[in-house]
A = this chain, B = another copy of it.
């Protein structure tokens, strides 16, 4: 039950904008010219590769925005793994609505499944360690809530959603005030009691300073594995330890085995290969 979609209002605004972008001023001139208004069809949304599904509900909602007469039946649920050639959903209704909505649906679905699949792969690679895979703010402009939802569908967890829902003190912040400790102190005077504080540290001295000042988590950026193990030992029981920096499927296991709590990977969202999904009209 943990796979809750982003607010429908937000999803529909995105779909409407995507449709407007595709329809332009004159709409689908090809379909208008060829397909009669009363022509009906049904079709299947299929995955042509194995992968983890994400965004099936949100992306197929586009058909309902085009016609109240479209019926969508989902064959799998977000978070499910499918084999190649799997039917994900059937869509039936006016052919025009189906053809107009197809590309918008697939562009969104392919991307979200791609993110979920990449996340699920990383999650599998660190199985048995205590670490969790988390995302970053390196998301596509306009799609953050959906892409972070896809990470959850892949078994990952979400880092903060934006600049306002948690504090993350980075090197530039520290440079501006002189020390990790001072930066944390300023933050504690500033934020509400429900705002968590994380700080980026480059070495164990900074980590010590952060632990002394008190934080919820430390982000160890680009640390060598040895140093990471040292950080885990120092921080144990005092705050969460997050590793980040150039994480890929090849490197993630070694990082996880250092004992860190969290591993964040911008790679999940900024360089996603879409899952190959298609829409096949069956009648």
Residues of A that sit less than 8 Å from B by CB = 1-2, 4, 6-10, 14-37, 39, 41, 65-66, 95, 99-100, 103-104, 106-108, 110-111, 114, 132, 134, 137-145, 148, 157-170, 172-173, 175-177, 183, 186-187, 189-196, 198, 216-217, 240, 242, 261-262, 270-274, 281
Contacts A36-B1, A134-B193, A141-B143; A162 near B100 (Cβ below 8 A): no
Q: Which residues of B contact A166 (CB under 8 A)?
A: 29, 165, 194-195
Q: Which residues of B contact A272 (CB under 8 A)?
A: 271
Q: In the assembled complex, how far is the CB of residue A210 from the closest CB belonging to chain B, in whole angstroms?
A: 14
Contact A177–B26 (Cβ < 8 Å): no
Q: In the assembled complex, how far is the CB of residue A206 from the closest CB belonging to chain B, in whole angstroms?
A: 15
Contacts A2-B190, A169-B34; A141 near B23 (Cβ below 8 A): no
Contacts A26-B148, A140-B111, A162-B24; A190 near B281 (Cβ below 8 A): no
- In the complex, what distance in Å separates the CA atom of A14 from the CA atom of B20? 14
Contact B103–A142 (Cβ < 8 Å): no
Supplied contacts A17-B142, A33-B187, 10 more A-B pairs, CB within 8 Å: A7-B20, A9-B65, A22-B162, A24-B164, A25-B162, A26-B148, A27-B163, A30-B169, A104-B141, A194-B196
Contact A274–B271 (Cβ < 8 Å): yes
CB-contact partner of A6 in B10, B19, B26, under 8 A: B26
- In the complex, what distance in Å separates the CA atom of A170 from the CA atom of B31? 9
- In the complex, what distance in Å separates the CA atom of A157 from the CA atom of B160? 21
Q: How many copies does the complex hold?
A: 6
A-B contact pairs, 30 of them (CB 8 A): A4-B37, A6-B26, A7-B19, A14-B142, A17-B141, A17-B142, A18-B141, A21-B25, A21-B142, A21-B145, A24-B162, A25-B162, A26-B165, A28-B164, A31-B163, A31-B173, A34-B176, A34-B187, A41-B172, A138-B274, A140-B143, A141-B142, A142-B142, A158-B191, A159-B194, A165-B165, A193-B262, A194-B196, A270-B274, A271-B274
- In the complex, what distance in Å separates the CA atom of A157 from the CA atom of B262? 30
Contact A165–B167 (Cβ < 8 Å): no
- In the complex, what distance in Å separates the CA atom of A9 from the CA atom of B18? 12
Contacts A141-B18, A176-B39; A33 near B186 (Cβ below 8 A): yes
Q: Which residues of B contact A15 (CB under 8 A)?
A: 141
Contacts A20-B9, A110-B270, A164-B161; A183 near B34 (Cβ below 8 A): yes
